[in-house]
Structure 1
């Protein structure tokens, strides 16, 4: 009988985990946290999550109480930006200077400690640019309802945003993908490029940082580390204890995808080194209707989430993989003609420029 793995959450990440489990003979079951009935868990079932935080519901209580909920104690620690930052500081890993927003601390006090430009982030929640508040001028103030609910970070004048996706198994063995270069627009990831030869000089530094975190938490599965590159140094922006948007390119561009790696680690299967295939670009589909013409692009693979299309909502992504950079560039140009001009022209141009900097 197949090993059953319950996924707390039934969004696109849960769906892609389910798909990745089929070739492994794993019965992967994403669960909507708002279901009216709790799942019938067996003692030998496993539980993991596609999200790092969740409200208390009938479903989440049932899953969280299971004795084989992998990384159960990690999620809350990393979902709270304050305790996440405290962990990073304790391990002596570089991150943006920060302060806790509490005790009626003022904007002027935060600017005195962190510099002229300060970004407030809600301790929990907030993604794709949500849950943030800038203190840029003397007139900007800390909202009253953010006291005790946020951290403040020094604005970093970074060169680039790069991420590292890695996996750790129960024996403590870690495997990492090549660093990925990312483009965010209005706080939303629009494009990723990997691998890039010029980032190889930073690979060992990034692996040491994420590996230290994985081992300190005795973590099992996939984790993503978003960083800022400042010269030849990396600063951690945020950690995600799950499969991550910037690792989607691995579905087409690696012998083992991030989704398969996560399931392999959770189910105590082998986690061999992946073979990276060709040159890869991932383009997120944000608030745009499905276009059947995407299927005509030979180097492009479309992943449509089947969600209602709304402005700013991630509704799918397209992985472009080619044996040569020329193939990828040609496909990007063709894809650009099939996407709305707003934002996508910038994302396509950025991706083409990134490929020039190989």
Structure 2
């Protein structure tokens, strides 16, 4: 049995472990806070479920291993300045942006980027954290301590948010899942649906963009590219050099999930174009308590992460991949009775995409 170590033992690491079992891969997620010495052998592979990690005994050992796949890619994409710079270098469309330097003022940002400007800290920050809006020209200011540690982006009045998940082998083979339409509320992904026939004409464009990035980085494994759609134009929002929340639907909706695809690439097993079964929807469970009743919803495929429930924290997700949209809508109707009122907007949005 081949062993693959995963830097990070959160839900993504655990789902990688689960996906490795049918492939006879011994996937070992590692707590980033661990001070243990790992029984890591020279021929074993190392991957990661996250872009950044603290300096601990375990992370030092993993990060110094000769077979840590994509090791140089993580810091480059974890820093939004170097990530955006790469996107620009490759001539890919993204929102107008700039680095917030020591002498950058809110006034100069408004002058260059417009009335609404979003500040994003260069590292860290996810699910809407590490961000600050400048919306009042002449009255607002760059927060104290944010100079040189953030970038500024022009606010985009986009039509929709979507993502594409791709995979690349060590010898350069690339395959892609269909575009996924996403709904974010307060910066947190709450619902996804894929594939949608009305987005099919953008698939080739999305694949070319993500393929260009993966090839330039000589990337191995799964990468996600989040985009804004403006008409038929796609603007790259952010990149994730790992399995991604918006690809969770592939666990139910494709013969190869994004987790299996990543492991295949890392372990140098054959990659193939995934076969999509039906239109799938994914409901993210955020800050809600576990209920056995979810298991009674027809077609529901629950993934519970076993984490302490806190406001704004992703604690699980439910996938549906049913034979027809009417059955999916009926399942979402039933699920709505088991979720807080805040989910009415999410489930209504999902149902509307199936019309």
Q: Smaller-chain TM-score range?
A: over 0.9
Task: Check the 8 A contact 2:191/2:282 in 1, yes or no.
Answer: yes
Partners in 2 of 1:172 and 1:164 — Cα distance?
18
Instruction: State the SS of the aligned residue for 2:86.
Output: helix
Partners in 1 of 2:40 and 2:161 — Cα distance?
40
CA RMSD of aligned residues (A): 0.6
Tell me the equivalent position of 1:45.
44
Q: CA deviation at 1:103?
A: 2.4
Deviations 1:121-171 (A, max 9, x none): 000000000000000003211012010100000000000000000000011
Q: Number of matched residues? A: 354
Tell me the equivalent position of 1:268.
268
Instruction: State the SS of the aligned residue for 2:145.
Output: helix
Tell me the equivalent position of 1:220.
220
Tell me the equivalent position of 1:132.
131
- Aligned pairs for 1:203-282 (under 5 A) are 203-282=203-282
Task: Check the 8 A contact 1:120/1:152 in 2, yes or no.
Answer: yes
Tell me the equivalent position of 2:111.
112
Deviations 1:22-65 (A, max 9, x none): 00000000000111212121010100000011111111110000
Partners in 2 of 1:105 and 1:141 — Cα distance?
10
Tell me the equivalent position of 1:183.
183
Partners in 2 of 1:10 and 1:39 — Cα distance?
14
For structure 2, which runs of at least 5 residues remain unmatched after alignment? none
Tell me the equivalent position of 1:193.
193
Partners in 2 of 1:67 and 1:119 — Cα distance?
39
Partners in 2 of 1:55 and 1:84 — Cα distance?
20
Tell me the equivalent position of 2:87.
88
Q: CA deviation at 1:298?
A: 2.0
Tell me the equivalent position of 1:302.
302
Tell me the equivalent position of 2:323.
323
Partners in 1 of 2:153 and 2:50 — Cα distance?
23
Partners in 2 of 1:146 and 1:56 — Cα distance?
23
Task: Check the 8 A contact 1:159/1:229 in 2, yes or no.
Answer: yes
Task: Check the 8 A contact 1:279/1:328 in 2, yes or no.
Answer: no
Partners in 2 of 1:330 and 1:177 — Cα distance?
26
Task: Provide TM-score, normalisation by structure 2.
Answer: 0.99
